[in-house]
Every structure is written in C-alpha cells, then in structure tokens.
Amino acid sequence: MIADEEREGFAAFLLRMRARNVTSTELFSAMEETPRGSFVPSEWRDWVWSNRAIPIECGETLESCDLQATIIHALELAPGKRVLEIGTGSGYTAAVIARIAERVLSVDRYKTLVEQAIQRHQSLGIDNIIVRQGDGLEGANDGPFDRIVSWAAFDEMPRRFADFLTSDGIMVAPIGPGDDVQTLSKLAKVGSRFERTDLESLRMQPLIKGVAQAL
C-alpha cells in the first residue's frame, strides 16, 4: 500500500492522469497496492510520484509514474491475460501488471536487476511473475502472449514479435532511433501483421542486444 507520506504525491498523479484521459480504476488500484517507494533507492523515495524518471541500479531508470500508467493503460489488460515484459528494471511495472493480468514473464539483460526484482516480488507475496535474465530483442519462447510491453526502444518496427502474440494480441513499445525522439506505438495484431497506432513522442533508452556479463 502507499505510505502516508506518499498520499499527496499519489493524489497529484491521479489528477495528471485524468487530464490525459487515463481513468482506469483497476490500474490505479494496482498502483496504489504496490509500494512504489520500495522499488527505488532510498534517496529517491520522495520523488516516486513525480512526473520524472528515477535512477536505479545498473545505470537504468524507473520511468515516471505518468508514463508507466499511460503505457500500461494502452495494453488494455484484463484478468486471464498473459504478458511479456521487456525490461524488468526495478520490477515495479511487473508487480502492477501482475495484479491485473493472469501471468507476467519479465526479462532483463542485467542479472542484478533480475535478482532484486525477484526479491521484491517475493516480499510482496506476488507469485504470478517469472523474472528472467535474457535478451529482449529475442522475445521469449514461452508464449504465445496476449500482451507485450517494452520499456526500451526498437530502432524499427518489431514485426517478428507478432509471432509471439495471440491472434488478438497487443504490443506497446517505443519505436525510433536510440539517440533521438521515438514514437510510443500501440501495435494490434491482425492476422500475421500489426496495425499501428502512434500515441505520443518520447525518449527511452534503446534495446541492446545480448545480456550484460558483469552486472
């Protein structure tokens, strides 16, 4: 649950989301039930409900709560859905998604982040998440999945990921050059291809091939 000192920040977050027409009570309840401050280094806990990214281990970041809510909302989650998450990071978004969906497989290239996320999920008693070290560009062979979300950018349309989705699946991912502005896109699977809807411009780190050897 949200700590008392976070209540004001959470209320401000809700107002910002309503201004963006994101009004999912299921999503907000899942975020409220997941102690966001427990997923960041202690020195950043005062900022968890601000509209800014927060540094975490391995040189990575926890994206702003506004962006996370926007992306998760675009996934159109529901009970029974199986989700592939590319980029575990702190493990926060997997925890939120797992409170709505049936199962989450989350992959990250950093072993350190994988181990920390597993510990956090276990401490919260969330048991429908599998976190694994892996190459996000390779997807996963555990599918098919109903939803796929990527927290790092593809440099071009990830067409091969249509193979990992069910017939009515949805993928949400940033697409564009790693050193420039990208487009957050919602990709709905139709047959063996995607129908693309662009949502907004943003900047995220690019997906890097392979897994980290040192961290």
Residue 192 CB neighbours (<10 A):
9
What confidence score (pLDDT) does residue 212 get? 83
Residue-level pLDDT at 9: 93
Give the pLDDT confidence score for residue 129 in this predicted structure. 98
**What digits encode the pLDDT tens for the residues 100-149?**
999 999 999 999 999 999 999 999 999 999 999 999 888 888 889 999 99
* pLDDT given for residue 119 in this prediction: 98
What average pLDDT score do residues 90-108 get?
Answer: 98
- Would you state the structure tokens that stand for residue 171, as one six-digit string? 């993928």
Q: How far apart are alpha carbons 138 and 157 in whole angstroms?
A: 14
* Cis peptide leading into residue 144 (ω within 30°): yes
Q: What is the pLDDT of residue 153?
A: 96
pLDDT in tens, 164-185: 999 999 999 999 998 899 999 9
Which of 70, 5, 3, 55 is CA-nearest to residue 32?
3
pTM for this one?
A: 0.95
* pLDDT tier at 211, thresholds 50, 70, 90: confident
Q: Is 87 left (phi over 0), alpha (psi -120 to 50) or beta?
A: left
Q: What would the pLDDT profile of 156-168 be if each residue is shown by its tens digit?
A: 999 999 999 999 9
Given CA atoms 43, 46, 52, 57 in this order, what sign does their dihedral have?
positive
Q: Domains in the chain, ordered, with CATH?
A: 4-202 (3.40.50.150)
Reported as a single tens digit per residue, the pLDDT across 38-70 is 999 999 999 999 999 999 999 999 999 999 999
- Residue 214's pLDDT is 64
